[in-house]
Amino acid sequence: MEISILVTVKNDLNNIKSLLSSLKVLDDEFEIVIVDAFSTDGTYEYLQSEQESLNLNLGRKRGNRSVGRNECIRLAEGRKLIFLDADTEIAREWATFLRKNIDRDILAGKIIQDPTSRWSDLDRVPILYKGKDVTFPSNNLMYSRNVIEKIGEFDERFNTAEDIDLNIRAIDGGFEIFGDENVIVYHHPRQTYSSLLRQSYYDGIGRKLIQKKYGLKSSFNRANMKRHPFIESSRLAFGMLGYLFGGTN
């Protein structure tokens, strides 16, 4: 098996249906590995019903995202491991441009936010490590298996920012993270203000974990502040709450 697509999911039935629908255009070169964290909304049962129509390797594992993604890695057969989130859909030419980069050790594609979201233009808050941006999320991110074998799997102590930690270890391992904006997925972001702030709180926890392990500090995105001063100020406030009072494992 050449390429494995790795997805973790919990209680996200509608989004996982959309993702699988977009993946049905892929050929047999692609293996789809999904690990369900014991959903209770019918997600797992739906995935079971799709196993015959897709090249779907299905597992279940309790735990955080790092635990789920590591289980995906163990189940996968591919030499190239592509991480997607359950709330995404691949673009029509995603596989074509991905194959053009298949010899890369690490590849970060482009994530386009659903334009119907009120904050679809909010960007990531980058962290630089040795002059490199390490905040590429484990969504539309490809790692060669040989890289994982050298630097190790996701650190399961991280319940958030596990992708930043993996990217830092890749840079330390001498690998480059290449980007191609033609490898596109569409992301369905959180639609409610409360869910956005909840995510900001956990982002703050993640930045605390990264600061504790590597001494790296995070700042803020000035463009976000200019476009959405109220929302971005709120995100910063809740991120600080997570940083100061959130758990660290």
- What DSSP assignment string belongs to 18-59? HHHHHHTT--TTEEEEEEE---SSSHHHHHHHHTTTTTEEEE
Spatial CA neighbour of 101 closest among 30, 223, 183: 183
Q: What is the mean pLDDT of the chain?
A: 88
Residue pair 9/39 in contact by the 8 Å Cβ criterion: yes
Could you give the residue ranges of the DSSP H alpha helices within the chain? 13-23, 43-50, 65-75, 94-100, 145-151, 162-172, 193-214, 222-227, 229-245
CATH classification of the domain holding 35: 3.90.550.10
β pairing state of 106-113 and 178-187: parallel
What's the pLDDT score for residue 17? 97
What's the pLDDT score for residue 45? 97
pLDDT digits (tens, 9 = 90+) for 12-61: 999 999 999 999 999 888 999 999 999 999 999 999 999 988 889 999 99
Residue pair 75/57 in contact by the 8 Å Cβ criterion: yes
pLDDT band at residue 216 under the 50/70/90 scheme: confident
187 within a domain of the structure (yes/no): yes
What's the pLDDT score for residue 219? 63
What average pLDDT score do residues 231-247 get? 70
pTM of the model: 0.89
Beta partners for residue 3, in sequence order: 30, 80
Distance separating alpha carbons of residues 19 and 34, to the nearest angstrom: 11
End-to-end Cα distance, the chain: 34
Look at the chain and report how many structural domains it folds into.
1
34 within a domain of the structure (yes/no): yes
233 within a domain of the structure (yes/no): no
For residue 161, the enclosing domain spans: 3-192
237 within a domain of the structure (yes/no): no
Angstrom distances, CA of residue 204 to CA of 89, 94, 133, 194, 237: 27, 31, 18, 15, 9
* pLDDT(160) > 70: yes
pLDDT band at residue 120 under the 50/70/90 scheme: low
Encoding tokens for residue 217?
């500090």
Share of the chain above pLDDT 90, in %: 65
Beta partners for residue 51, in sequence order: none
49 within a domain of the structure (yes/no): yes
160 within a domain of the structure (yes/no): yes
19 within a domain of the structure (yes/no): yes
242 within a domain of the structure (yes/no): no
Query: What does the CA dihedral 85, 83, 59, 27 come to, rounded to 10 degrees?
Result: 100
Phi first, then psi, for residue 38 (nearest 5°) are 60, 60
